[in-house]
A = this chain, B = another copy of it.
Amino acid sequence: MDEFALIETLVRGLPGRPEVIVPAGDDCAVLRPAGDDRDWLFKTDAVVEGVHFTPDAPPEKVGHKALGRCLSDLAAMGGQPFAAVITLGLPASFQPDHVQRVYAGLSDLARRHQVAVVGGETTRSPGGMFLSVALWGWVPRGRAVLRSGARPGDAIFVTGELGGSAEGKHLDFEPRVAEAWWLVNHFDVHAMIDLSDGLASDLRHVLRASGVGAELLKRAIPISRAARRAALRSSAAKPPLVAALTDGEDFELLFTVAARDAVPLLDAWKKAFPGLRLSCIGKILAEPTLVLRDRQGVQPLTLQGYRHFAETPSDPET
């Protein structure tokens, strides 16, 4: 067990209450207070200078990213946002203008998604800026989409294009809240997750939670232009397919539906979201394995996505 897995175990042993339907471990927690006709979603996340953004990143984009990450997690539950609170850690030498710009970027995104921002604590931070966001949202009672619902035979979909997010998208992605809401209101979505650690890792979260496996179709993986450009620019860069499978911070949705829904979904999606690609990238298997199919046949997929505390990046493959 690595250190990160150990922490996950610790977090799962946290105190509960009878109202907790889904504890820590999915994209959001789900709570059902007595006398309420909704299930409530609760999530926190942080961005840290030197980890999630560089000191020269535009402050508006730092604010955008901090809230956007939480909104992406909320989308992955099929939820609607409600309210957020912010903690901003600032070095002693901070510029008020910088803070104003962080809040402007965060507020713009909040307004677009009808998020009330109802708290903003500010604290000193000797080690550079950080921004922690907690988001509170809801789903109709019993309608949260979990990671654990994938079934053998399901078709696996991803929105958008993957890889190369570090080239820019990681700072100005649009969380897929509207798309997820449309999905859960038009189709029976079995399982969903947002892609934050990279397809290879995030799909494994779904497979583990659902007790299933998957076969991905190599030529169906939607590779971003940013990942292709990075590979052309430097021979040290990941091959584009590896980038699409392992780069973090795509903030796209991965979800599964019954195979019979796959074609109707693709047709309806094209009308609803003509500007956003939707790809069927494979299918769920009963056996707990993860394989990649290409013209030569099927091989195990051992690639890993982003490791939060890894000292070295994962080995490239293919």
Q: Mark A residues whose CB is within 8 Å of B.
A: 3-4, 6-7, 10-11, 13-17, 19-20, 23-24, 28-29, 31, 33, 35-38, 42-46, 48-52, 82-83, 85-87, 89-90, 92, 94, 96, 99-100, 103, 107, 110-111, 114-128, 130, 132, 134, 136, 138, 308-309, 311
Contacts and interface: CB of A to CB of B under 8 A. Distances in A.
Nearest to A2: B96
Contacts of A116: 14-17, 19-20, 23, 31
Query: Interface SS of chain A: helix, strand, loop or mixed?
Result: mixed
Nearest to A3: B96
Given A6-B99, A17-B116, 6 more contacts: A6-B100, A44-B119, A44-B121, A48-B123, A48-B126, A52-B123
A117 B308 contact: no
B14 A117 contact: yes
A23 B51 CA distance: 31
Most buried by B among A37, A50, A100, A121: A121
Contact of A24 (B17, B19, B90, B117): B117
Contacts of A7: 96, 99, 120, 122
Contacts of A45: 87, 121
A123 B46 contact: yes
Contacts of A85: 24, 29, 42-44, 134
B126 A4 contact: no
Nearest to A311: B92
Nearest to A106: B14
A308 B123 contact: yes
B92 A309 contact: yes
B42 A83 contact: yes
Given A42-B85, A116-B17, A123 B51 contact: yes
A16 B84 CA distance: 10
Contacts of A126: 48-51, 127-128
Contacts of A94: 3, 309
Contacts of A13: 107
A127 B51 CA distance: 11
Closest 8 CB pairs of A and B: A127-B127, A134-B134, A29-B118, A11-B120, A132-B132, A14-B117, A44-B85, A17-B116
Contacts of A29: 83, 85, 118-119
A46 B6 CA distance: 23
Given A36-B35, A48-B126, A89-B48, A14 B132 contact: no
B14 A107 contact: yes
17 contacts: A4-B122, A7-B120, A7-B122, A10-B100, A14-B117, A16-B116, A17-B115, A17-B116, A19-B83, A20-B118, A29-B83, A29-B118, A42-B119, A44-B121, A92-B311, A130-B130, A132-B134
A10 B121 contact: no
